[in-house]
A and B are shown apart, each in its own frame.
Chain A
Amino acid sequence: MVAQYDKTPVIQTKGLVKRYGSVTAIDHADLELYPGEILAIIGDNGAGKSSLIKALSGALIPDGGEILLDGEPVHFTSPMEARALGIETVYQNLAVSPALNIADNLFLGREILKPGILGSVFRMLDKKEMEKRARDKMIELGLMTIQNISQAVESLSGGQRQGVAVARSALFGSKVVIMDEPTAALGVKESRRVLNLIKEVRDRGLPIILISHNMPHVFEVADRIHIHRLGKRAAVVTPQSHSMSDAVAIMTGAMEVDASTEAA
């Protein structure tokens, strides 16, 4: 799927503000994510990336500005509300329960019950259905080097675990997948597989917001790069229009760019 910049942004923020006492974490931040793209967000520590992401995933309630989902204003008061509207988040770590198996993890908190009285009265899990859907998703994403869908997640490598977390977001995310440093804890080869997986998810039609400190990773997979500085967008560049050193210069304030010049 090719990014469609002429369409309404899937998710957009306008003048988003969040203050903690006298500290302004988000200072009238704008952001647009278009259908079919990977938008990377980079920024120095303390630039307010995490606060922005938390606002998008419902973990933080902004003080001002608005969030638009498909052009409609939305207000999240919890991550559950954001998830219910199709916004999934993949966290750097703490993403999975090691002792549970892959299928259990994919459906954790969103289990499928057996139809009829077994499900409604006895609350019986439909394990077959969950395993089938889990297996289908893992195969679709090319993750089936993982042999057995009922093996415990703790027996998987770090990259495979992150694969499980990405598969979960792809299974339930209908609008947006937000990935917070998905490769930070991984080795070189594992990072590579996760990056390919991210592109795979994008190619299947889910736009992605990727937060990363790893410039080569960002420049490889991102369609556009949102550079965050001092609580707001400093610039949006593309890997074609700017070099990594340009991006770092903008990020650190060494280079001034007019924020309104859309690279798209």
Chain B
Amino acid sequence: MSSTDPKPSTAVLDHDKVADQATSYVAQFENTDTFVQSFQKFLHKYPIAAPSIVLLIAVFGFSLIVGDRFLSPFNLSLVLQQVTIIGVIGVAQTLIILTAGIDLSVGAIMVLASVVMGRMAIDYGFDAWLALLIGMSVGALAGFINGLLITRMKLPPFIATLGSWNVFFALNLWYSKSETIRSQDISTMAPLLQWLGETINVFGARLTYGSILMLAIFFVIWYALNWTPWGRHVYATGDDPAAAKLAGIRTDRILLSVYVLAGVVCAIGAWVLIGRIGSVSPQAGYTTNLDSITAVVIGGCSLFGGRGSIYGTLIGALVVGIFRNGLALAGVDVLWQEFTVGILIIVAVGVDQWIRRGTA
């Protein structure tokens, strides 16, 4: 022990002075990676690569099995329509998973907001824009409640949103009286609510305004996450909250803003939902919760927070859509479609763990 060394201090210093003569590289790696290791590093550096490869293989595979019918602009635009809701809700889920949280209430917020929008416009006869605005506010409020539970009461996100999921779903059944608002009523009284379901023809592809809105949301959130201080703070908060706090980030505020924004995005999803199914049903979108998590996970976002790309979620949603569509066109039973999606989730998380191990 140097601290009990009786010799004068200067002599004792020599013991690690020799380290100066050591090689100046703090860390040097022999580049002896095998192909597999290089691939692993590549996937780690570009988190969007793995889901993109799966998407390409799926498209290629199904075009071989099913043929031209699969690759037609009409069919591909149909896939895009089918993934629109999952895509929008997936954006909300991505934001939350980036902060190392999870939101089980996204689907319930969406349905609740759609019921509010429908009742405001039809039962109360409000202007459709006002009805949309009120629906968005309900989404924001729901997200705010989740955020408060997590930042103020320090509940784990899983538990907080498991609770609010049930609460929001019950409120939705109560407020809607478990009744569906019919499509005809909406189209006569508030056609704006269905507008996102209308299609425009682009080179034989039928794009809905909802799909275009979804792509716009992806772009806006991509910008916010990658080009604004807020986005950097979201990543830092999810990555290592203690380090983020030491850097002066108010992590609780960031979390709260993320949950509120996710609530608003869910409410936009409610508008898309009305466009997609035409009516307002308190029973719609029941599987959206888990589907959104599926899209995020297949898209390569880490459930531990701080890692992942918003576009990964778009690709993740497309992978699920392509598999469902391709298997259906190939005449495979629905239950095997579910089976395949389940396998995809497990493989995606397995690959994520493998990528992580390779660079630890």
Residue ranges of A at the interface with B (Cβ–Cβ < 8 Å)? 79-80, 83, 91, 94-100, 104-105, 108-111, 113, 122-125, 127, 145, 154-157, 159-160, 188-193, 215-216, 219-220, 239, 242-245, 248
Say how far A150's CB is from chain B's closest CB, in angstroms: 11
Residues of B within 8 A of A216 (CB): 2, 12-13, 15-16
Residues of B within 8 A of A96 (CB): 240, 243
Asked if A245 and B26 make an inter-chain contact with CB atoms under 8 angstroms apart, the answer reads no
Docked Cα-Cα span, A68 to B117, in Å, equals 60
Residues of A within 8 A of B19 (CB): 188-189, 192
List 15 extra interface pairs beyond A99-B235, A100-B232, CB under 8 A: A79-B248, A94-B242, A96-B240, A97-B236, A99-B306, A105-B247, A108-B249, A111-B229, A122-B223, A157-B26, A157-B27, A188-B19, A189-B22, A192-B19, A245-B5
- By Cβ-Cβ distance, the 6 closest A-B pairs, closest first, are A109-B248, A157-B27, A111-B229, A108-B247, A123-B228, A99-B239
- A95, A123, A244, A248: the one contacting B230 at CB < 8 Å is A123
Q: List 28 A-B contacts (CB under 8 A).
A: A95-B243, A97-B235, A97-B243, A98-B240, A100-B232, A100-B236, A105-B247, A108-B247, A109-B233, A113-B229, A122-B227, A122-B228, A123-B229, A125-B227, A125-B229, A155-B359, A188-B19, A191-B16, A193-B26, A215-B2, A216-B13, A216-B15, A219-B10, A239-B9, A239-B10, A242-B9, A244-B2, A245-B5
Docked Cα-Cα span, A178 to B3, in Å, equals 23
B76 within 8 A of A: no
Docked Cα-Cα span, A96 to B359, in Å, equals 18
Interface SS majority for chain B: helix
Say how far A143's CB is from chain B's closest CB, in angstroms: 10
Asked if B232 and A219 make an inter-chain contact with CB atoms under 8 angstroms apart, the answer reads no
Asked if B229 and A95 make an inter-chain contact with CB atoms under 8 angstroms apart, the answer reads no
Asked if B306 and A109 make an inter-chain contact with CB atoms under 8 angstroms apart, the answer reads no
Task: Count residues of chain B with CB under 8 A from any CB of chain A.
Answer: 41
Residues of B within 8 A of A220 (CB): 13
Asked if B227 and A124 make an inter-chain contact with CB atoms under 8 angstroms apart, the answer reads yes
Interface centre among A99, A111, A245 (most CB of B within 10 A): A99
Docked Cα-Cα span, A248 to B12, in Å, equals 14
B331 within 8 A of A: no
Residues of A within 8 A of B247 (CB): 97, 105, 108-109
Residues of B within 8 A of A248 (CB): 3-4
CB closest chain-B residue, reference A155: B359
Residues of A within 8 A of B307 (CB): 99
Asked if B248 and A80 make an inter-chain contact with CB atoms under 8 angstroms apart, the answer reads yes
Asked if A244 and B3 make an inter-chain contact with CB atoms under 8 angstroms apart, the answer reads yes
Asked if A108 and B236 make an inter-chain contact with CB atoms under 8 angstroms apart, the answer reads yes
Considering the complex, which residues of chain B in the window 1-34 have a beta carbon less than 8 Å from any beta carbon of chain A?
2-10, 12-13, 15-16, 19-20, 22, 24-27
Interface centre among B16, B239, B246 (most CB of A within 10 A): B246
Docked Cα-Cα span, A243 to B12, in Å, equals 10
Docked Cα-Cα span, A193 to B248, in Å, equals 27
Residues of A within 8 A of B6 (CB): 243, 245
Asked if A95 and B246 make an inter-chain contact with CB atoms under 8 angstroms apart, the answer reads yes
Say how far A124's CB is from chain B's closest CB, in angstroms: 5
CB closest chain-A residue, reference B238: A99
Docked Cα-Cα span, A79 to B245, in Å, equals 10
Say how far B57's CB is from chain A's closest CB, in angstroms: 27
Docked Cα-Cα span, A243 to B24, in Å, equals 30
B49 within 8 A of A: no
Docked Cα-Cα span, A192 to B19, in Å, equals 7
Interface centre among B7, B9, B20 (most CB of A within 10 A): B9
Docked Cα-Cα span, A243 to B4, in Å, equals 10
Asked if B9 and A145 make an inter-chain contact with CB atoms under 8 angstroms apart, the answer reads no
Asked if A244 and B26 make an inter-chain contact with CB atoms under 8 angstroms apart, the answer reads no
Docked Cα-Cα span, A123 to B220, in Å, equals 13
Asked if B13 and A97 make an inter-chain contact with CB atoms under 8 angstroms apart, the answer reads no
Asked if B236 and A160 make an inter-chain contact with CB atoms under 8 angstroms apart, the answer reads no
Docked Cα-Cα span, A91 to B247, in Å, equals 11
Docked Cα-Cα span, A94 to B7, in Å, equals 36
CB closest chain-A residue, reference B20: A192
Residues of A within 8 A of B236 (CB): 97, 100, 104, 108
Docked Cα-Cα span, A190 to B16, in Å, equals 11
| A244-B9 in contact given A160-B27, A192-B16 (Cβ < 8 Å) | yes
CB closest chain-A residue, reference B6: A245
Asked if A215 and B3 make an inter-chain contact with CB atoms under 8 angstroms apart, the answer reads yes
B244 within 8 A of A: yes
Asked if A97 and B26 make an inter-chain contact with CB atoms under 8 angstroms apart, the answer reads no
CB closest chain-B residue, reference A106: B247
Asked if A108 and B12 make an inter-chain contact with CB atoms under 8 angstroms apart, the answer reads no
Asked if B248 and A100 make an inter-chain contact with CB atoms under 8 angstroms apart, the answer reads no
Asked if B232 and A111 make an inter-chain contact with CB atoms under 8 angstroms apart, the answer reads yes
Docked Cα-Cα span, A145 to B24, in Å, equals 9
